[in-house]
Amino acid sequence: MKKAAKQPAKSKSSAKPAAKPAAKPAAKSAAKPAAAESMNLTENASGQNWTLPVMSGTLGPKVIDVRKLYGDTDYFTYDPGFTSTASCQSKITFIDGDKGILLHRGYDIVDLAEKSDSMEVAYLLLNGELPNLQQKTKFEYDISRHTMVHEQIQFFYRGFRRDAHPMAIMCGVVGGLAAFYHDSLDINDPHQRMVASYRLIAKMPTLAAMAYKYSLGQPFIHPRNDLKYAENFLHMMYAVPAEEYKISPVLSRAMERILILHADHEQNASTSTVRLAGSSGANPFACIAAGIASLWGPAHGGANEAVLNMLHEIGDKKRIPEFIKRAKDPKDNFRLMGFGHRVYKNYDPRAKIMQRTTREVLNELGVKDDLLDVALELERIALHDDYFIEKQLYPNIDFYSGITLKAMNFPTAMFTVLFAVARTVGWIAQWKEMIEDQGSRIGRPRQLYTGEKQRDYVPMSKR
């Protein structure tokens, strides 16, 4: 360990030098910290020792409070990918990845998916409690009154190529909303925050369906306030002016499930992006656009689309062993899309529910599709393969949502868009929580610099 350049601070901060050097290195002292809620950190080279406060939440691992570490010790912590770092305090969602538990405001996702609906879950995430009947009715009414978009917004769409990826359109158009709704941009006004939140939740399905309709060259379909949130989305996606569109109850139930299961997932990449963007005081439309950009990647929300692309590449059940072999080969970059998760080292509880929904949709629609056969066979093989069992690589929610959306006739490029529609409420709830947290500060990570040390400028003639 490199010796600290700076002496530890005296007594002004919480990370004070401990009275006596710890007998054991810091990692070992974890079992018996010096005080009940603290931990010792020892610089082995010098024997210098600091006591760090430990904080406890209501559930989950305790955290070592390193906020004053740099000021007191001249050390940073190093944690690329944030595998061990809590970036905030939150009351919204709890995940126990080892046990496969996911709670929203304390309610189990399995209960919510089976007994609740997407608007109730949205209210819960935003407000912390399940709504009573009156609150729910008002919330649904308020959301339904914000579903239309400014007429000028359609001209944004016309600026895109017809074959533009709908996520590219969403990144642009959602950020562009800030140019239209000036009366909800003051993040310090609770009423404006609420209006912006409702607008985003209400308008996302409209904007997503418009992106789809634009790609087809069909007219945009206006929202209908008499329909439920999921039904209205299906209506805007699939209705045409020339005939009546009947909403299948199977499809609307599946859509409800997809919305609930994707609503929030604590501090994942896109949510952290929303928080980081919002920490500078940026307006909520810009922050959600940043979340959409982060979600797009194949290691995150783009995985459901990547699953389908992979299934196309595999093409036939006979080729599955070849792809399993590639996924296991450390020299090959190929991964089985829709398998594995950063947090869940057990079956993702959402994946289990989604698996049931997938089966329901396939049975009730009677869909026959070679790619779906490939997917189900892939799932069967991977669940029995030693490599995947050993590394705890279970199918994740994106694996099943990809298959379900395919069966529901969603074009592959729209899969991640649908995820963004569903996740908007989670992003908004997390953004709102951050703004309302008096202790939150602009997000500004540190780094371990490994580049050149300071050197003299070399004139062009000497290079």
Q: Is residue 398 among the annotated active site residues?
A: yes
Catalytic residue among 72, 264, 348, 398: 398
Q: Which residues make Cβ contacts (< 8 Å) with residue 442, sequence separation at least 6?
A: 279, 280
CA distance 463 to 460: 5
Q: How much helix, strand and coil, in percent to the nearest 5, is found in the chain?
A: 50, 5, 40
In single-letter form, the type of residue at position 127 comes to: N
Instruction: Show the site string, 289-308: x = touches ligand ACO by CB under 6 A, - = not.
Output: ----------xxx-x-----
Q: Which of 193, 341, 352, 406 binds ligand ACO (CB under 6 A)?
A: 341
Catalytic residue among 341, 370, 384, 437: 341
150 forms part of the interface with ligand ACO (CB under 6 A): no
Binding span for ligand ACO by CB under 6 A among 155-163, 284-292, 388-396, 406-414? 388-396
For ligand ACO, give the closer residue by CB, 14 or 392. Answer: 392
For ligand ACO, give the closer residue by CB, 300 or 359. Answer: 300
For ligand ACO, give the closer residue by CB, 123 or 388. Answer: 388
For ligand ACO, give the closer residue by CB, 20 or 331. Answer: 331
Q: Is 93 helix (H, G, I), strand (E, B) or coil?
A: strand
For ligand ACO, give the closer residue by CB, 301 or 349. Answer: 301
Binding span for ligand ACO by CB under 6 A among 10-18, 174-182, 329-337, 443-451? 329-337
Give min distance, CB of 32 to ligand ACO, in A. 31
Binding span for ligand ACO by CB under 6 A among 51-59, 108-116, 359-367, 392-400? 392-400
For ligand ACO, give the closer residue by CB, 30 or 86. Answer: 86
418 forms part of the interface with ligand ACO (CB under 6 A): no
Q: In which order are the strands placed within the sheet that holds 93-96?
A: 93-96, 101-104, 107-108
420 forms part of the interface with ligand ACO (CB under 6 A): no
Return the residue matching tokens 């669940």.
383
- Evaluate the CA torsion angle 435, 208, 410, 115 in order and state its sign: positive
Instruction: Classify strands 101-104 and 107-108 as parallel, antiparallel or unpaired.
Output: antiparallel
Give min distance, CB of 379 to ligand ACO, in A. 13
Q: Which residues make Cβ contacts (< 8 Å) with residue 385, sequence separation at least 6?
A: 324
- φ/ψ of 331, rounded to 5, equals -85, -10
Residues numbered 308-327 forming contacts with ligand ACO, rule: CB under 6 A? 327
112, 134, 144, 176 from 137: Cα distances, Å? 18, 5, 11, 30
Per the rule left: phi > 0, alpha: psi between -120 and 50, beta: everything else, 47 is left
Size of the site for ligand ACO (CB under 6 A): 19
Q: Is residue 117 among the annotated active site residues?
A: no
In single-letter form, the type of residue at position 351 comes to: A
Q: What is the secondary structure of 32-84 as a DSSP string? A: S-SSTTEEEEEETTTTEEEEEEEE--SSS--EE--TTHHHHHS-----GGGSS
339 forms part of the interface with ligand ACO (CB under 6 A): yes
Instruction: Show the site string, 41-80: x = touches ligand ACO by CB under 6 A, - = not.
Output: ----------------------------------------
Catalytic residues: 341, 398
Under the rule (CB under 6 A), what is the footprint of ligand ACO?
A: 299-301, 303, 327, 330, 335-342, 391, 393, 396-398
